[in-house]
């Protein structure tokens, strides 16, 4: 059911953990060949009979609708849905033979499905509360609640009570091709009708949905506990270069620490190289099992030596029967990924028009064909701007590039402040989640929203303290509010958390406008995930101004554009690795975790060697495989580089219009039409990397 698609907990490229929620995945993995047309001899006869009978009753002008509707119902009707008499009775009773009845049916379904989606989402949010919020230990049964999806049977129920058939009898099913070709000429109502029937274009069994939801929850849990205790990393001299109590979640916090370490002139480089070493051991699964989320051992990630901790910085107890050894994590990372693959694959037989998760992700979720996305990523990766920007970074660093410099952050205009200075400012301003909540109207006014609109949106957002680094959870009905989950330490919010909160707030604002201010709730949301990320990036890009620091000047803006260009260069490769790994799994469905480990390492190396080696002069680097999304997010990563491209398109438009607030609102209210159509109406051009590349080119010449 596509109505659930925008309930994903959207994530920030900079730092957020949770991404795709089980219910979203379950709802997006469609269909049923078990529903293939029953070849009952009576079906054709009944259809012909009903065509004549109902055309005579309602008039010839209803005939095209009737023919289409009968075809659509026949396609999904199974023997256990009823015999010939039941089929005919159903059609006679439920065909809306005039416009007034059809309009009533449309609006009543819209209203009631909003209630269904909204309340299911509400239950899901509550059941995930203990896992999502900073609210004490997660007990085993909490994980079961989090893995449970009360909406898993809805699709089945709607086919058995025939409400799905009622829609299929009266409203058109469309293909991606039709939506791309005819969509530009459609009315808003036609788009809403297309989204309405899309919810029922598959008939997937509930047990398959449940298996997918469980795999998603389990992999999420694996990722959420993958911490590295940094004080316990030691070098050859036994030196500790990270501070006590520093616990970093892979990969988000590790990567962000690399970024932060550029401002540590003393130990920065040593820290960055050590983190790279840790990441590589995670990807290759040579990391000792015992060092994962365990402050009771010291670890030299270069030699891989493990010893009992010689210093204590945490009360976290040692794992029971802890064996001090460097026995590697036994490919759990790839076993976990394989579990998500095997769960996702269960839906394939029920999805004849998109028979792989890859096809469902691109054709149905993104609504941009995979080949087109791949071409856009490659266009960025092979841009002649890449070596030029790399050279500039090298000059600034005064040393040859290290592989971890894919996360170079020296282009940030905010780098004039140290992380510590920013942390202090943020902690003072936001000692609690409630303090952030209270400030939302002011933040929105600073972004150009009129005071009444700012207050209106703020009233629709609830801020909760997050267990992870933060996420946004929109609502699915107008009577519910969006939730902003943010990480607040005992010492107050830090800058990283603020940066993420601003991003997530962007999601919440989009969620609010696209649900509450849309002419059709059926069109709530955005065309695909990249769009909501793009809109969130717009907010995130202004985080320093929201702290009351100076707006970036032209030079700073050029810096930021180069930063985004470099980030897109980095994440485009990560996206290609994610795509490559899913293709490999489909090509090798019987693979063992060990084989998947080796394949992933090879794919990461290949992409690196093709696009990164030319500027880094280093071969066979595996860093592109470190993203946690690869393990628990079902081919989500290509959305990030798409997000950057789309963000540039949107941002250029915001600049033209002069103010973020009203333009953001105009765009968010368009809702979930097709990606290219949305973008054309928002900016005058279809989706593509050109805006990013042009901006980067201008920025590069402004920097010289």
**d(C-alpha 565, C-alpha 567), whole Å:** 5
Between 248 and 536, name the residue whose CB sits nearer to Zn ion: 536
Burial of residue 297, with CB atoms counted within 10 A of its CB: 0-12 exposed, 13-18 middle, 19 or more buried:
buried
The first and second tokens of residue 252, run together, are: 């988000």
Task: Measure the CA–CA gap between 45 and 43, rounded to whole angstroms.
Answer: 5
Residue 228 C-beta: closest distance to Zn ion, Å: 24
Cis peptide before 251 (omega within 30 of 0): yes
| Closer residue to Zn ion (CB): 530 or 536 | 536
Q: Contacts with Zn ion in 193-232 (CB under 5 A)?
A: none
What character string, x for contact with Zn ion (CB under 5 A) and - otherwise, covers 532-551?
-x--x---------------
Choose between 10 and 275: whose C-beta lies nearer to Zn ion.
10
Task: Return the number of the residue (11 or 469) whose C-beta is nearest Zn ion.
Answer: 11
Backbone angles phi, psi at 160, to 5 degrees: -70, -35
Report, in Å, the least distance between residue 257 CB and Zn ion: 20
Nearer to Zn ion, 430 or 531 (CB): 531
Paired tokens of 321: 């029967």
CA distance 476 to 118: 4
Number of amino acids touching Zn ion (CB under 5 A): 5
Under the binding rule (CB under 5 A), the answer on residue 18 touching Zn ion is no
Q: How open is the CA angle 156-162-164, to the nearest 5 degrees? A: 70
Stretch that binds Zn ion, among 6-14, 173-181, 438-446, 513-521 (CB under 5 A): 6-14
Task: Candidates 209-217, 529-537, 566-574, 599-607: pick the segment binding Zn ion (CB under 5 A).
Answer: 529-537
- Figure out which of the listed residues 9, 12, 20, 502 binds Zn ion, where binding follows CB under 5 A: 12
Which residue has the closest beta carbon to Zn ion?
10
Kindly tell me which of 232 and 503 has the beta carbon lying closer to Zn ion: 503
Stretch that binds Zn ion, among 7-15, 30-38, 271-279, 404-412 (CB under 5 A): 7-15
Report the distance separating Cα 149 and Cα 121, nearest Å.
9
Q: Specify the residue, 154 or 500, whose C-beta has the smaller distance to Zn ion.
A: 500
**Taking the C-alpha atoms of 637, 672, 3 and 24 in order, what is their torsion angle to the nearest 10 degrees?**
10
CB of 367 to Zn ion, least distance (A): 19
With 0-12 / 13-18 / 19 or more C-beta atoms within 10 angstroms meaning exposed / middle / buried, residue 400 is exposed
Which residue lies nearer to Zn ion by CB, 608 or 627?
Answer: 627
Is the CB of 298 or the CB of 639 nearer to Zn ion? 639
Question: Alpha-carbon dihedral of residues 187, 189, 193, 199, nearest 10 degrees?
Answer: 110
- How near is the Cβ of 533 to Zn ion at its closest, in Å? 5
8 A C-beta contact, residue 1 and residue 154: yes
Report which secondary-structure segment, H or E, holds 494. Answer: none
Q: Which is nearer to Zn ion, 252 or 299 (CB)?
A: 252
Residue 10 binds Zn ion, judged by CB under 5 A: yes
Binding segment (CB under 5 A) for Zn ion, from list 71-79, 118-126, 327-335, 525-533: 525-533
Least spacing, CB of residue 627 vs Zn ion, in Å = 14
Pairing between β-strand 482-486 and β-strand 461-465 as defined by DSSP bridges: parallel
What's 588's DSSP letter?
A: -
Q: What dihedral do alpha carbons 286, 289, 295, 299 form, nearest 10°?
A: -30
Minimum Å gap between C-beta 187 and Zn ion is 31
Rounded-to-integer distance, Cα 169 and Cα 70, Å: 6
Tokens 């990391």, residue? 287
Query: Closest CB to Zn ion among 186 and 627?
Result: 627
What part of residues 124-153 is at the interface with Zn ion (CB under 5 A)? none
- For β-strands 227-229 and 482-486, DSSP reports them as unpaired
Cβ–Cβ contacts within 10 Å for residue 575, how many?
29
The reply to whether 433 sits near Zn ion by the rule CB under 5 A is no
What is the distance between the alpha carbons of residues 362 and 371, in angstroms, rounded to a whole number? Answer: 9
Q: Does residue 691 touch Zn ion according to CB under 5 A?
A: no
Tell me how far apart the alpha carbons of residues 590 and 342 are, in angstroms, rounded to a whole number: 10
Nearer to Zn ion, 10 or 335 (CB): 10
Shortest Å, Cβ 514 to Zn ion = 15
Return the number of the residue (23 or 261) whose C-beta is nearest Zn ion.
23
Let me know the angle formed at the C-alpha of 282 by 278 and 288, rounded to the nearest 5 degrees.
80
Backbone angles phi, psi at 151, to 5 degrees: -90, 5
**Cβ of residue 501: shortest distance to Zn ion, in angstroms?**
11
Q: Say whether 17 sits in a helix, a strand or coil.
A: coil
Least distance from C-beta 249 to Zn ion, angstroms? 17
Dist CA 646 CA 490 (whole Å): 37
Which residues of this protein are in contact with Zn ion, per CB under 5 A?
10-12, 533, 536
């Amino acid at each position: 059911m596509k109505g659930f698609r925008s309930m994903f907990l959207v994530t920030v490229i900079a730092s957020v953990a949770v991404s795709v929620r089980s219910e979203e995945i379950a709802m997006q993995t469609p269909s049923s060949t078990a529903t293939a047309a029953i070849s009952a001899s009576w079906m054709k006869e009944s259809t012909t009979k009903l065509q004549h009978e109902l055309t005579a009753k309602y008039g010839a002008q209803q005939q095209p609708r009737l023919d289409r509707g009968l075809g659509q119902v026949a396609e999904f009707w199974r023997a256990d849905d009823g015999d010939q008499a039941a089929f005919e009775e159903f059609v006679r009773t439920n065909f809306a033979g005039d416009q007034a009845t059809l309009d009533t049916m449309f609006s009543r379904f819209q209203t009631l499905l909003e209630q269904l989606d909204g309340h299911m989402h509400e239950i899901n949010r509550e059941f995930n509360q203990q896992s999502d919020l900073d609210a004490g230990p997660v007990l085993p049964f909490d994980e079961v609640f989090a893995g449970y999806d009360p909406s898993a049977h809805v699709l089945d129920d709607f086919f058995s009570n025939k409400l799905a058939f009622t829609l299929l009898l009266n409203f058109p099913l469309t293909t991606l091709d039709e939506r791309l070709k005819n969509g530009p000429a459609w009315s808003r109502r036609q788009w809403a009708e297309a989204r309405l029937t899309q919810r029922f274009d598959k008939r997937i069994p509930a047990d398959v949905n449940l298996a997918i939801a469980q795999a998603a929850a389990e992999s999420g849990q694996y990722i959420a506990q993958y911490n590295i205790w940094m004080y316990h990393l030691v070098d050859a001299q036994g030196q500790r270069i990270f501070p006590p109590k520093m616990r970093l979640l892979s990969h988000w916090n590790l990567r962000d620490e690399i970024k932060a370490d550029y401002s540590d002139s003393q130990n920065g480089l040593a820290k960055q190289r050590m983190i790279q070493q840790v990441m590589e051991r995670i990807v290759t699964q040579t990391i000792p099992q015992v060092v994962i989320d365990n402050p009771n051992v010291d670890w030299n990630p270069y030699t891989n030596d493990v010893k009992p901790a010689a210093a204590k910085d945490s009360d976290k107890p040692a794992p029971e029967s802890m064996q001090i050894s460097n026995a590697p994590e036994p490919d759990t990372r790839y076993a976990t990924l394989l579990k998500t693959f095997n769960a996702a694959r269960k839906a394939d037989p029920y999805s004849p028009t998109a028979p792989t998760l890859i096809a469902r992700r691109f054709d149905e979720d993104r609504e941009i064909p995979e080949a087109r996305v791949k071409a856009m990523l490659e266009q960025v990766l092979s841009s002649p701007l890449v070596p030029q920007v790399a050279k500039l970074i090298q000059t600034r660093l005064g040393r040859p590039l290290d592989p971890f410099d894919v996360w170079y952050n020296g282009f940030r205009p905010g780098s004039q402040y140290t992380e510590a200075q920013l942390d202090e400012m943020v902690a003072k301003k936001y000692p609690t989640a409630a303090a952030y909540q209270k400030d939302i109207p002011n933040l929105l006014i600073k972004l150009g929203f009129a005071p009444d609109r700012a207050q209106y949106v703020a009233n629709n957002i609830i801020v909760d303290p997050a267990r992870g680094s933060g996420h946004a959870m929109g609502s699915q009905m107008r009577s519910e509010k969006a939730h902003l989950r943010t990480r607040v330490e005992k010492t107050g919010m830090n800058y990283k958390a603020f940066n993420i909160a601003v991003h997530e707030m962007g999601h919440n604002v989009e969620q609010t406008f696209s649900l509450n201010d849309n002419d059709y709730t059926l069109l709530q949301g955005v065309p695909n995930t990249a769009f909501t990320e793009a809109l969130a990036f717009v907010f995130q890009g202004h985080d320093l101004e929201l702290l009351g620091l100076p707006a970036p000047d032209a030079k700073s803006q050029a810096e930021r554009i180069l930063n985004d260009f470099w980030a897109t260069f980095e994440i485009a490769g990560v996206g290609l690795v994610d795509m490559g790994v899913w293709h490999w799994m489909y090509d090798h469905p019987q693979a063992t975790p060990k084989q998947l480990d080796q394949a992933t390492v090879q794919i990461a190396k290949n992409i690196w060697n093709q696009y990164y080696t030319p500027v880094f002069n280093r071969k066979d680097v595996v860093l592109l495989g470190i993203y946690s999304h690869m393990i628990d997010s079902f081919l989500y990563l290509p959305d990030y580089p798409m997000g950057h491209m789309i963000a540039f398109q949107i941002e250029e438009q915001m600049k033209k219009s002069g103010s973020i607030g009203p333009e953001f609102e105009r765009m968010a209210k368009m809702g979930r039409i097709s990606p290219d159509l949305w973008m054309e109406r928002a900016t005058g051009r279809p989706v593509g990397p050109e805006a990013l590349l042009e901006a980067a080119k201008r920025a590069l010449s402004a920097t010289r």
